[in-house]
Amino acid sequence: MLKKWLSLVLAVMMVIASLPAFAQTSDANPGSDGQQVVIDETADGSDSDGAVSDDNDDEAAVSNIDENKMQADGVADVENSSKAQITAPEKDNLGKFQKMRAEIQKLIKQRFFARANTLIDKVRAEVKSSRLTDERKKALMASLERRERATMHSVQGEYQKAANAIRSAISLNELKGDTDRLLKTQEKVSTQKEWFDIRANYEKDLTKLLEAKQPLLKEKLAVLRQLDSKRKLSKEEISKLQASLKQINERLAPLNKKIQETHRVFAVKRDKMRKEGIVLNSAQHRKLFPLVMKRMIVRFGNYNLHRQIARHLSNIAETNETSWEGLKENFARLQKLQEKVWDLRKQLDALAGKAPLSEEDYRKAKILRDQLEKAIAACEKALGKVEDAFIDQKVFGKLTDKEKAEFVKLFRDVWSRDKEFDSLKPSLEELYEKIFERPIIIDDPKPEPQPIPMPKPEPGKPSLEGEGYIIKEGNVFLLRFGDKILWPNNLPARYMVNKLEVKFGAEFILRAADQPTNDLPKVDGPTNDLPQADVPTNKLPEENAWWKKYPEISFTYIHAPQLPDEPFKRDNDMATPTQVIEENLDNQNKPANLMNAF
């Protein structure tokens, strides 16, 4: 009998568990413990204040390239250009050029446009000097323009350049479909202009609608601030607050509807342009950037107002020790979304440090920006649910001491993390400007090999700085630094004074690897008994330059306290040699020949 009852209970439990109310996924209780918050990456923003994204359009244009078809068409262009049989040397040349064209197509698909363009020019030059017949040379060069160069410009939105490439192909070797191909490409120039105007108007219209929401959000915030006075509210006060918020939401509803309709209309037009393969070029994106930034700044402002509204509601819940439907769940979800926003912001911060970006990093930045927009939209939706549930609540539940402690901790964690995020420098707006306003560096996956420079000998000390004496030996002035003698190659004329005390900074001048500069000769006495300049000698002038045995230095600055300041020079005065020399030599890119002052 007991077994029958157990079987019956088990069967009933299985039926109940299969009901929709009990078979929900993590979306039924978003953000609850042990469940991961999932942001809908396929959402286009049409149900929020965020813009409908078109960041993947450029990527889609490249992914649509059919390399196999392009290669087959390229081969057909050349083989059908002449009825003459292809000779063995020609076959070898054509095979070589086909491999180079396959590499060009790969580079275009990877968006390495600068290298692809260079390789196209290289192939053209080699075709001209090849052993192909003139007829096949023209056919091959025409095919390069028609296929590779036109495609390369098209995927960048440079439709006029693509049309010009097709015209060049026609002038070399016209094919049957070239005229139709040219007309279609030329039509894209005007269609692209239309698409740019659609994008610009969308940003402007959306910005105006978002700006129109701000006064109403601020009005809502003012009502909440007035009642958030750290005292418990009466039932009548809460009812009055609910009515005030509901009345403002009714005035916001038409604006939200217009925003959703603006998103919907734009999404339809965007999909049409995608089918036609229309993308904007880099110059048009730069023109759009200020409009995008203006809209995003307004969006961030509205999001901040939503956060403040939710914060006052959480304060009221804490003060009155009450809760309403979905409050804990939505704040828990918001807490997890904060971590998502934080992580995306950190990734953008890392990319901003690389600006201006490579093509690959720029694509990553656009994806991160799109994900961040969706994460902020999800945060905004969670905040909206907190408010809507408060307005619709009929009876507010009383919190136990344990529940109150849990709510207080949850609220504190969310708002302290929020405050920390707002204090990050640079701001999100500054990051966007740094990343998306600067030009893009086009990657080169296989840079041309550069000759490895010969290693330079490393001096024992990279620089000198201290106090020493200028000493005169014969007709030469040297620097005595401690127990060392150095030969300065740029001593100013006014410092050519025997036993002149100076403060200086200098750099070693490297001569050759077999002459290390750190082996400085020591001074044994007042002088080193250096030969005088007037001693007759039969040596050549270079051999007679005895001072060159000393390590050579170049002053970066030099100062002698006992020397008077430079005399004041009027504009009409003639400059003297000492006036030409400045004591501070830091602005010199390389050691100056200060002896020219004489």
Per-residue pLDDT band at 457 (split at 50, 70, 90)? very low
Give the type of residue at 94: L
What is residue 594's DSSP assignment? Answer: G
Per-residue pLDDT band at 453 (split at 50, 70, 90)? low
Give the type of residue at 58: D
550: its two tokens: 């000393």
Strand partners, 553: 488, 508
229: its two tokens: 């006075």
Alpha-carbon dihedral sign for residues 458, 462, 467, 473: positive
Angle between helices 359-392 and 235-275 (to 10 degrees): 150
> Max alpha carbon distance in the chain (Å)?
133
485-522: pLDDT as tens digits: 888 988 888 888 888 898 888 888 876 544 444 444 44
Euclidean distance between CA atoms 470 and 562, whole angstroms: 13
247-257: pLDDT as tens digits: 999 999 999 99
Lowest mean pLDDT: which of 4-18, 159-173, 332-346, 469-483?
4-18
574-583: pLDDT as tens digits: 433 333 334 4
Query: Cα torsion for 68, 74, 75, 76, to the nearest 10°?
Result: 110
Strand partners, 465: 505
Locate the DSSP E strands across 3-52.
none
**At 184, phi and psi to the nearest 5?**
-65, -40
pTM of the model: 0.63
- Collapsed DSSP state (helix, strand, coil) of residue 110: coil
Euclidean distance between CA atoms 54 and 274, whole angstroms: 9
